[in-house]
Structure 1
Amino acid sequence: MRTSPARIHVSAMKLIILLLALIAPFHVQAAERPAGVVELFTSQGCSSCPPADALLAELAERDDVVALAYHVDYWDYLGWKDELATPENTARQRAYGETFDRSVYTPQAVVNGRRDIVGSHRKDVYAAIDKGSEDAAALSVDVDISSSDGSVFVDVGTAAKAAPADAHIVIVYYQPRQVVSIGGGENRGQSIDYRNIVTSFQTIGMWHGRSMRLELPKSEIMKNGGRCAVLLQTFDAEGRPGAILGAADAAESW
């Protein structure tokens, strides 16, 4: 039986569409900008932290919030060593302390790099997220994460009219979840479900207002917790962190 030229043409088009779908990068971040970035500085040795940890777990379930938990180590002397804490997390919080000109504390939540709030105060945290979505320059630059084969791609858009045109591209590696039974210190006897636990972070490039793409090996993410977020963040001349202009969260594990 002979096939008509028109049918051959339709079949060829379907094949081309299928091939394009197979070779295109797999996107793990929706195109919409997040409503807010919430960085919680917490510790297993802090009796005030479990309510904030629970609030962060709630925020981690939202598709429109990048929620990250930085465990700090300066409460370890109270009788329980936080195995999720790192000196780098503590250093980031202290740098924020210099930015806000105040002492560090736990639980401290920093929203969009602009406001610090007691991390267990639900109304204040949600209000800061809402306020951030109203700020002209807050999260005004598109950031996207995609994956193909053994690579992860970070795409950053052009500067919005109200946004600064220079920023660091910071990748934050994290472990999505770990339940810890605490055997000592102020939270002794509690079992706490921790979410989006930061394992490490680093600047992977500089952005100067124009769209750009960076490529990273997927293996780096796998060995550092399995997931990552990307923050487009300003820093001052002294290296202190400032406003976050854009963000994306790779909510899928590779």
Structure 2
Amino acid sequence: MPALKTFRLRLIGSLFLLAALPAAAEETAPQTTQVKTEADGLEVTQPKGVVELFTSQGCASCPPADAALKHLIDDGSIVALSYHVDYWNYLGWADTLASKENTARQYAYAKMFGRNGVYTPQAVLNGRDQVNGANLSGIKGRLIALSGADAGMKVPISAERKDDEIDITIGEGDGKANVVIVYFNRQKVVDVEKGENSGKKMSYWHAVRDIQTIGMWDGTSARFVLPASVLDQEKDSGCAILLQQMKDAETPGAIVGAATLMAAP
């Protein structure tokens, strides 16, 4: 067993299922909102929320969560990302999409939530809450609750490609936050040859391949310009722009704004 402190969701799944909201809340879809800042006239349709799924090709409990994430992506109004972690590689299959950075992000969230370890599949919502990643109705219900508690997407972000540049505009709001760019592949199909999912052909969506902090936001409207080449390094890729507050230098906190942008076809 590795030194990392991890837990199998299937052993304690009932504990995490308690996080689901009452059925009345779960059956209602989260709402999108229009936000306009008077200073710069930025008006965008805010996403319903941000869902960060921590998953693994070597985890037998994860395929239902991967399918749930695809459902959220198809919804079109949720920023949904799949972070493949590497701590189940010892079971016999090295996850082809996993990275130490993805694992480190999950452990940073565990610290923020006051948890002693990590598990898969875990869905982190708006950087504020977490549920079983396979509990689709629970995810939707928690996003509704967060939005209703003024813990949704508050700051408008627009991202568009202009010739050889990516133009990111962030509106006004309260507080400070990091501007985080999460690069992902739209879809990856993997033949899993060993481990708990041996023999299965798996489709993964919005699998994260890189995470970069490109700057700070201080509550005033801001603009960031990146070369479009950073998005075009891989075919069929995209990026999410996350405006994320920090608990400290290494611990992520609430996500208060988000947007996505796909690479040129």
Q: Identify the TM-score tier after normalising by the shorter chain.
A: 0.7 to 0.9
Task: Report the CA distance between 1:157 and its aligned residue.
Answer: 0.3
2:232 aligned with 1:231: no
Task: Report the CA distance between 1:127 and its aligned residue.
Answer: 0.7
2:252 aligned with 1:241: yes
Instruction: Report the counterpart of residue 120 of structure 1 in structure 2.
Output: 134
- The counterpart of 2:74, out of the listed 55, 61, 83, is 61
- The counterpart of 1:146, out of the listed 138, 141, 160, is 160
CA distance 1:199–1:224, change in 2 (3 Å): farther
Measure, in 2, the Cα distance between the counterparts of 1:144 and 1:132: 22
1:148 corresponds to which letter in structure 2?
Answer: K
Measure, in 1, the Cα distance between the counterparts of 2:175 and 2:161: 26
| Greater fraction helix | 1
Instruction: Report the counterpart of residue 120 of structure 2 in structure 1.
Output: 106
Task: Report the CA distance between 1:136 and its aligned residue.
Answer: 1.6
* Alpha carbons 2:85, 2:98 under 8 Å: kept: yes
* Alpha carbons 2:192, 2:198 under 8 Å: kept: yes
Task: Report the CA distance between 1:179 and its aligned residue.
Answer: 1.2
Task: Report the CA distance between 1:138 and its aligned residue.
Answer: 2.1
- The counterpart of 1:83, out of the listed 78, 92, 96, is 96
2:105 aligned with 1:95: no
Q: Which runs of 4+ in 1 moved over 2 A?
A: 251-254
Alignment RMSD: 1.4
Measure, in 1, the Cα distance between the counterparts of 2:84 and 2:122: 11
Task: Report the CA distance between 1:75 and its aligned residue.
Answer: 0.3
* Alpha carbons 1:199, 1:224 under 8 Å: kept: no
- The counterpart of 2:230, out of the listed 220, 224, 230, is 220
2:128 corresponds to which letter in structure 1?
Answer: R
What does the per-residue CA deviation read over 1:151-191, in whole Å, with 9 as the maximum and x for residues that have no partner? 001110000xxxx4100000000000011111100011111
* Alpha carbons 2:143, 2:152 under 8 Å: kept: no
Matched residue pairs, number? 221
Task: Report the CA distance between 1:222 and its aligned residue.
Answer: 1.2
Task: Report the CA distance between 1:135 and its aligned residue.
Answer: 2.7
2:46 aligned with 1:36: no
* Alpha carbons 1:173, 1:224 under 8 Å: kept: no
Measure, in 1, the Cα distance between the counterparts of 2:101 and 2:234: 14
What does the per-residue CA deviation read over 1:28-49, in whole Å, with 9 as the maximum and x for residues that have no partner? xx92000010000000000000
Scaled by the length of structure 2, what TM-score is found?
A: 0.81
Measure, in 2, the Cα distance between the counterparts of 1:60 and 1:195: 8
Identity of counterpart residues, as a percentage? 45
Task: Report the CA distance between 1:253 and its aligned residue.
Answer: 3.6
Task: Report the CA distance between 1:89 and its aligned residue.
Answer: 0.3
Instruction: Report the counterpart of residue 25 of structure 1 in structure 2.
Output: none
* Alpha carbons 2:231, 2:263 under 8 Å: kept: no
CA distance 1:238–1:217, change in 2 (3 Å): closer
* Alpha carbons 1:179, 1:191 under 8 Å: kept: yes
Measure, in 2, the Cα distance between the counterparts of 1:131 and 1:192: 32
- The counterpart of 1:136, out of the listed 134, 150, 154, is 150
Structure 2 unmatched runs, 5+? 1-42
* Alpha carbons 1:174, 1:224 under 8 Å: kept: no
Measure, in 2, the Cα distance between the counterparts of 1:231 and 1:135: 20
